């Protein structure tokens, strides 16, 4: 139920009752959020006028307010046919105070800095740039919104579920009388993605309508909720282990953890779980876990599929840079496709906040002597180089403190190159690495730990790195061959040129290249004999894939002490991505993908960099770092890499899957689950369940699969939930990817992500996993 919509005509007394009802609903939801009586929440619920900024000429006053569900923002719209005047708090990525967006910097004056703020949305939805009438109001909007976002994200699974279900009930309660008729009940069931026949709906209704009044109210609604959310599969598991007065004692829980979850834990650790998740104080004192406490445990990180021991930085971060997979973006400046999409500093911020550690800067001469960044020979918009560097400095180390590589694709004249160097040195300051670490010429890379908080420039260099130690300043300007990728972009552009085109390089820019000097690749033998450790090559995907398939072992050895960057072919004008896994198998560190393009490839990327605090650095397996290794992912032989495992997996159930077609109220999901394994060619496989008709709320499969994995350290597992369609391609409902080595055994919940990689608040999969050494 929404208090702001096309209002039916009400008498004065009806309006008073209605508004009081709205106030109570808001109070209830505020309490659920842990913000009962909070002044900032009250401020948002009252709402206020803000100026929406879209351009120099488009700045208009609009009224904004938080609705009584405490998770939807309403705003007035002057568009006649605008159907949605709301957005969900769940869709907000962050709120930025001040002129922290391109739009506000461009269309407002520095004098109003303190009155401005931006709402940044997840996915591709445009920012909402706003200006309050005074500084105090702007602060209150930002504080209030941040508080709600934080509290909504901090709710446990049960609270999220309740919040969602009760608000769906509100919407179904058309006449807002706090009672539910059978017609409203059926409307509600459709809203929560479950289609039931009339007989079942009538049976449910009758069971709960204890007063025989023909409506459900108060405790009857609570009973209906309990009936609806009862998890039969949990009842069975809990019943099997709850051997102490129908409850789980600490020893019963220990028994469950040892036998089902295959965890090496003590009685003391079982007791810690009880005190962490049990809500009933009496049970807690008796060292017992009730069914609610057990469900709470299963829904939190201890009961999740992803091993919580891998959540923080757990890997050795002192090894040479070449020993890590590094999260890397291609065409980082683009928000959409590479032919006509907008270039934006926002794209850099999004990538860096996702833990990306290598960003690409495609630099061209711009007007007024200022270099710009855009996709050459295309219609993509341009963004100032200095604005990009400012945004990178601001957001580089918010998600991860480990080094960021600035991969320059330089098409600029000497004058603008000098300005590029000047902008980087003045804006990045001491964080920019301008000299090798130590006072002697290095023979190997430093590690991510030593380079914390530093920026490394990747690009062409006029001389060898040892010139940094002997004050060799003779070469001021010289011609160097363009980076392979720069030449490729010309090949694919309108102005095709000879492959080995040359550009003049300014000493000021050259001197900033320390550990990532770009050189042309002329074969593994040539690289071994002639290339210094800091000299790295870039490979177009076709060449990289070919080397990974035909010369994998040589490629792995090359990547032990040198860096390789791979990038998508220029022919991918839609900014689609290639599969990164074969290149990781070959030890390539900087496998650059288009972060702005969602899909299976980005799912695998997000999964690969999920462990190790999402720091953007993952230590390669030992057999990809040891010079004596003869590992070949394509033709497997015996070696330390061969640790054959059998994964027994039962897909049990799913909970609260979102509707795919929100426009059609009657559209219900027919879900199926597919489990995919990506790794060395021998491990690639995929299996799927049947589909369940008309039930996205609590579908149950109980289907069992078996997978054999030969090289677990390189394997990734992707879970996909789709809406089955007989006539067309299945729609994605949600997905989740993680490394095989980060999987926990036993009964586990799997969170689900949207196409863009954001968590779907109350949805999840429930599985049982057993990974054993293969015979």
Give the model confidence (pLDDT) of 591-631 as tens digits: 999 999 999 999 999 999 999 999 999 999 999 999 999 99
Provide the phi-psi class of 555: left if phi over 0, else alpha when psi is between -120 and 50, else beta.
alpha
Q: How many CB atoms lie within 10 A of CB 442?
A: 18
Question: Is 730 annotated among the ligand-binding residues?
Answer: no
Please tell me the predicted confidence (pLDDT) of residue 196.
Answer: 75
Question: Is 618 annotated among the ligand-binding residues?
Answer: no
Question: Is 75 annotated among the ligand-binding residues?
Answer: yes
Considering the domain 12-154 in this protein, what is its CATH number? 2.30.29.30
Question: Is 253 annotated among the ligand-binding residues?
Answer: no
Query: DSSP label at 194?
Result: B
Q: Which residues have C-beta within 8 Å of that of residue 127, sequence separation ≥ 6?
A: 101, 103, 118, 119, 120, 121, 346
**How far is Cα 136 from Cα 730, in angstroms, rounded to an integer?**
49
Question: Is 409 annotated among the ligand-binding residues?
Answer: yes
**How far is Cα 761 from Cα 90, in angstroms, rounded to an integer?**
8
Nearest to 766 by CA among 736, 727, 728: 736
Give the number of C-alpha atoms closer than 13 A to the C-alpha of residue 527, restricted to the C-beta side. Answer: 24
Phi/psi of residue 411, each to 5°? Answer: -120, 15
Nearest to 708 by CA among 662, 645, 753, 651: 645
Residues of the chain with CATH 1.10.238.10: 158-229, 232-303
Please tell me the predicted confidence (pLDDT) of residue 498.
Answer: 44
**How far is Cα 236 from Cα 137, in angstroms, rounded to an integer?**
53
Question: Is 76 annotated among the ligand-binding residues?
Answer: yes
**Residue 375 known to be catalytic:** yes
Please tell me the predicted confidence (pLDDT) of residue 502.
Answer: 83
Please tell me the predicted confidence (pLDDT) of residue 602.
Answer: 97
Considering the domain 645-773 in this protein, what is its CATH number? 2.60.40.150
Q: Report the CATH fold assignment for 321-624.
A: TIM Barrel (3.20.20)
Query: What does the H/E/C string look like for 492-534?
Result: HCCCCCCCCCEEEEEHHHHCCEEEEEECCCCCHHHHHHHCCCC
The residue annotated as part of the active site, out of 330, 557, 558, 735, is 330
**Residue 157 known to be catalytic:** no
Question: Is 53 annotated among the ligand-binding residues?
Answer: yes
Q: Which residues have C-beta within 8 Å of that of residue 234, sequence separation ≥ 6?
A: 291, 294, 295, 298
DSSP lists the bridge partners of residue 244 as 247
The residue annotated as part of the active site, out of 310, 375, 423, 710, is 375
Interior/surface letters 544-572, b for 16+ CB within 10 angstroms, e for the rest: bbebbeebbbbbbbbbbbbbbbbbbebeb
Residues of the chain with CATH 2.60.40.150: 645-773
Please tell me the predicted confidence (pLDDT) of residue 455.
Answer: 98
Helix (H) or strand (E) holding 759: strand 759-773
CATH number of 232-303, picked from 3.40.50.2000, 1.10.579.10, 1.10.8.50, 1.10.238.10: 1.10.238.10
Please tell me the predicted confidence (pLDDT) of residue 487.
Answer: 56
Residues of the chain with CATH 3.20.20.190: 321-624
Residues of the chain with CATH 2.30.29.30: 12-154
Query: DSSP label at 341?
Result: P
One DSSP character per residue, 205-221 reads HHHH-TT-SSSEETHHH
CB 587 within 8 A of CB 686: no
**How far is Cα 128 from Cα 396, in angstroms, rounded to an integer?**
23
Helix (H) or strand (E) holding 251: helix 250-259
Nearest to 667 by CA among 643, 690, 695: 695
Beta-strand (E) ranges in 308-432? Answer: 324-326, 328-329, 358-364, 372-373, 383-384, 404-410
**How far is Cα 217 from Cα 221, in angstroms, rounded to an integer?**
5
CB 98 within 8 A of CB 113: yes
Nearest to 292 by CA among 301, 283, 656: 283
For residue 178, the SS3 value is: coil
Q: Which residues have C-beta within 8 Å of that of residue 323, sequence separation ≥ 6?
A: 560, 619, 620, 625
Burial class (CB in 10 A: 0-12, 13-18, 19+), 392: buried
Provide the phi-psi class of 159: left if phi over 0, else alpha when psi is between -120 and 50, else beta.
alpha
Spans of the chain below 50 pLDDT: 1-7, 83, 491-498
Question: Is 79 annotated among the ligand-binding residues?
Answer: yes
Please tell me the predicted confidence (pLDDT) of residue 590.
Answer: 98
Q: Report the CATH fold assignment for 158-229.
A: Recoverin; domain 1 (1.10.238)
DSSP lists the bridge partners of residue 133 as none
Alpha helices in 93-214 (DSSP H): 102-107, 135-154, 157-172, 182-191, 198-208
Instruction: Please report, for residues 169, 275, 425, 548, 670, the alpha-carbon distance to residue 163 in angstroms, rounded to integers and kept in the order given.
Output: 10, 25, 50, 50, 24
């Amino acid at each position: 139920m929404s208090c702001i919509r096309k209002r039916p005509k009400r008498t004065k007394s009806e309006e008073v009752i209605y508004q009081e009802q709205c106030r109570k609903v808001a109070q209830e939801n505020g309490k659920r959020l842990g913000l009962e009586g909070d002044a900032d929440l009250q401020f948002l619920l009252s709402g206020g006028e803000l100026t929406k900024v879209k351009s120099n000429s488009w700045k208009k006053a609009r009224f904004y307010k938080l609705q009584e569900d405490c998770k939807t923002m309403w705003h007035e719209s002057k568009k006649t046919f605008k159907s949605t005047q709301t957005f969900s708090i769940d869709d907000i990525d962050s709120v930025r105070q001040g002129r922290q967006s391109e739009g506000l910097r461009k269309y407002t004056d520095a004098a109003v800095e303190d009155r401005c703020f931006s709402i940044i949305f997840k996915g591709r939805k445009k920012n909402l740039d706003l200006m309050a009438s005074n500084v105090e109001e702007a602060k209150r909007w930002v504080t209030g919104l941040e508080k709600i976002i934080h509290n909504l994200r901090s709710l446990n699974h049960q609270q999220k579920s309740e919040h969602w279900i009760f608000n769906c009930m509100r919407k179904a309660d058309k006449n807002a009388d706090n009672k539910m008729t059978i017609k409203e009940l059926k409307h509600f069931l459709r809203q929560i993605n479950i289609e039931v026949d009339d007989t079942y709906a009538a049976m449910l209704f009758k069971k709960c309508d204890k007063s025989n009044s023909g409506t459900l109210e108060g405790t009857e609604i609570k009973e209906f909720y309990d009936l609806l959310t009862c998890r039969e599969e949990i009842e069975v598991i809990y019943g099997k282990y709850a051997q102490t007065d129908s409850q789980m004692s600490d020893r019963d829980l220990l028994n469950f953890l040892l036998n089902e979850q295959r965890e090496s834990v003590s009685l003391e650790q079982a007791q810690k779980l009880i005190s962490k998740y049990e809500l009933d104080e009496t049970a807690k004192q008796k060292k017992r876990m009730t069914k609610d406490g057990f469900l709470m445990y299963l829904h939190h990180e201890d009961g999740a599929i992803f091993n919580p021991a891998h959540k923080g930085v757990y890997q050795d971060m002192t090894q040479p840079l070449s020993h890590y997979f590094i999260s890397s973006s291609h065409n980082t400046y683009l928000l959409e496709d590479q032919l006509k999409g907008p270039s934006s500093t926002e794209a850099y911020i999004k990538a860096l906040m996702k833990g990306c550690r290598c960003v690409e800067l495609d630099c061209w001469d711009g007007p007024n002597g200022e270099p710009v960044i855009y996709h050459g020979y295309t219609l993509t918009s341009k963004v100032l180089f200095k604005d990009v560097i400012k945004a990178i400095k601001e957001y580089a180390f918010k998600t991860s403190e480990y080094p960021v590589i600035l991969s320059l694709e330089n098409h600029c004249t000497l004058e603008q190159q000098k300005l590029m160097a000047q902008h980087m040195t003045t804006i990045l300051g001491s964080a920019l690495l301008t000299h090798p670490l130590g006072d002697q010429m290095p023979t190997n890379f430093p590690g991510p730990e030593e380079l914390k908080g530093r920026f490394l420039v990747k690009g062409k260099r006029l001389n060898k790195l040892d010139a940094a130690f002997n004050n060799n300043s003779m070469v001021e300007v010289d011609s160097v061959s363009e980076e392979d990728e720069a030449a490729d972009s010309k090949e694919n552009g309108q102005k095709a040129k000879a492959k080995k085109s040359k550009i003049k390089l300014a000493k000021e820019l050259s001197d900033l290249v320390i550990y990532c000097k770009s050189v042309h690749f002329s074969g593994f033998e040539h690289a071994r004999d002639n290339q210094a450790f800091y000299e790295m090559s870039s490979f177009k995907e076709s060449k990289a894939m070919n080397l990974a398939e035909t010369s994998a072992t040589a490629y792995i050895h090359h990547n032990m002490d040198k860096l390789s960057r791979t990038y998508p072919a220029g022919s991918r004008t839609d900014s689609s991505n290639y599969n990164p896994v074969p290149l990781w198998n070959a030890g390539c560190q900087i496998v650059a993908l288009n972060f702005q393009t969602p899909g299976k490839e980005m799912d695998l990327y997000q999964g690969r960099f999920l462990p190790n605090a999402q720091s953007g650095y993952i230590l390669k397996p030992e057999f990809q770092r040891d010079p004596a290794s003869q590992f070949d992912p394509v033709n497997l032989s015996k070696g330390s890499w061969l640790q054959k495992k059998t994964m027994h997996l039962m897909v049990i159930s799913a909970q609260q899957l979102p509707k795919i077609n929100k426009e059609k109220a009657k559209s219900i999901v027919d879900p199926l689950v597919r489990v995919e394994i990506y790794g060395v060619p021998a491990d690639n496989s995929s299996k799927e369940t049947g589909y369940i008709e008309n039930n996205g709320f609590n579908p149950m499969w109980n289907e069992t699969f078996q997978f054999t994995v030969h090289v677990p350290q390189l394997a990734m597992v992707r879970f996909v939930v789709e809406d089955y369609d007989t006539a067309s391609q299945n729609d994605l409902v949600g997905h989740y990817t993680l490394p095989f080595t980060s999987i926990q055994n036993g009964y586990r919940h799997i969170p689900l992500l949207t196409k863009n990689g954001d968590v779907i608040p109350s949805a999840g999969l429930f599985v049982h996993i057993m990974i054993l050494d293969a015979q």
